[in-house]
Amino acid sequence: MPSATEELIQRLYEAPPEGFVAARTAAVDQARKAGDKAAAKRLAALKKPTVAAWVVNLLALKRPELIDELVELSSSLREAQRGLDGAALRELTNQRRQVVAALVTAATKLARAEGADAKLPLGEVEATLTAALAEPDIAAQVRTGRLIRAATYAGFGEVPRPRLRLVTDSEDVEDVEDVDEEEDDEGAEVVEFPQQSAREKAAAERRRREFEQRRRELRRELTSAQAAEKRSDAQLERAEQAERDAGHVVEDLDAELAELERRRTEAQADVARRKQARRLAEREAAAARRQVGDVQAALEDLESDEPE
């Protein structure tokens, strides 16, 4: 059974990403107030997903059986590639397109049900699901339901090149490298393969060099982009931490204001009580002064009537 923190993380990645930062900040603050430092640290480390990653996360979290079908199809495709089964590979490739299209449709419905009204990046969603078909590591990440960005894949697996073969009258299959040229004299039927011309070889070499140059350029761009992403993530984390710290300052000030307001209310009540006591004392003092005056007057009257 998942822990409360795991359930909270799942809800964060199920909710639309525009509210992710605020929800995460609230969750971190709640964990801190509860004294759960480990949960607070774990929640604070969560990264906001892109819209495309969120849509894929919805599919993994709410319809995991569809992701299981995707992984099963991925295994079948890799087996067909390893076995060079052209017919099976073509059939599975068509099935792959149908499955990915169905998953994109299902993910779109889930996103709309969660209130997504903006245009969804369905191309990135499709690219991520296609990449999950090709790469088991990407499929494993998709299954977690915690992607933070879309994935891409340049090609669908590596199909091994067939070795040249020679078929004899006895239907034995051997590698060309192991067959002696003298077998031609024994009636064996040799399957000949056309050789590349010098121009074709030069063109192929030129394409290979262009490919390698382009790959080096893309790798440099990827390194630069990853470094920029790392800097951006660090900047985002600092900004989020600063936001949380500022929020804590506001909370502390709110608490101080509440305490001052409570003390002010108590002081006002004390002033009211003391004012009432003063008025009572004033009345008692006035009554005492009147009594003194009355007694003095009576004494004076008495003394004026004193017999000689």
Regarding whether 167 and 157 lie in a shared domain, the answer is no
Collect the ranges in the chain with pLDDT lower than 50: 156-194
Q: Report the predicted TM-score, pTM, of the whole model to 2 decimal places.
A: 0.48
Domain assignment present for 214: no
Domain assignment present for 248: no
Domain assignment present for 256: no
Domain assignment present for 8: no
Domain assignment present for 117: yes
Determine contact, residues 34/46, Cβ cutoff 8 Å: no
99 alpha carbon, distance to own chain's centre = 25
Burial class of residue 140, CB neighbours in 10 A (0-12, 13-18, 19+): exposed
Regarding whether 119 and 55 lie in a shared domain, the answer is yes
Regarding whether 177 and 131 lie in a shared domain, the answer is no
What residues make up the domain containing 187? Answer: 163-193
Joined tokens for residue 165: 């073969």
Please report, in angstroms and rounded to a whole number, the separation of the first and last CA atoms in the chain: 113
Domain assignment present for 269: no
Please count the structural domains in the chain. 2
The Cα 197–Cα 203 span in angstroms is 10
Question: What is the chain's length?
Answer: 308
Regarding whether 134 and 178 lie in a shared domain, the answer is no
The confidence score (pLDDT) of residue 158 equals 39
**Widest CA span of the chain, in angstroms?**
182
The confidence score (pLDDT) of residue 1 equals 63
Continuous segment of H or E residues that includes residue 178: none
The confidence score (pLDDT) of residue 268 equals 92
The Cα 308–Cα 298 span in angstroms is 19
Q: How far is CA 192 from CA 7, 184, 189, in A?
A: 64, 12, 9
Continuous segment of H or E residues that includes residue 3: none
The confidence score (pLDDT) of residue 52 equals 92
Regarding whether 152 and 112 lie in a shared domain, the answer is yes
Using DSSP, state whether 174 is helix, strand or coil.
strand
The confidence score (pLDDT) of residue 308 equals 65
Domain assignment present for 112: yes
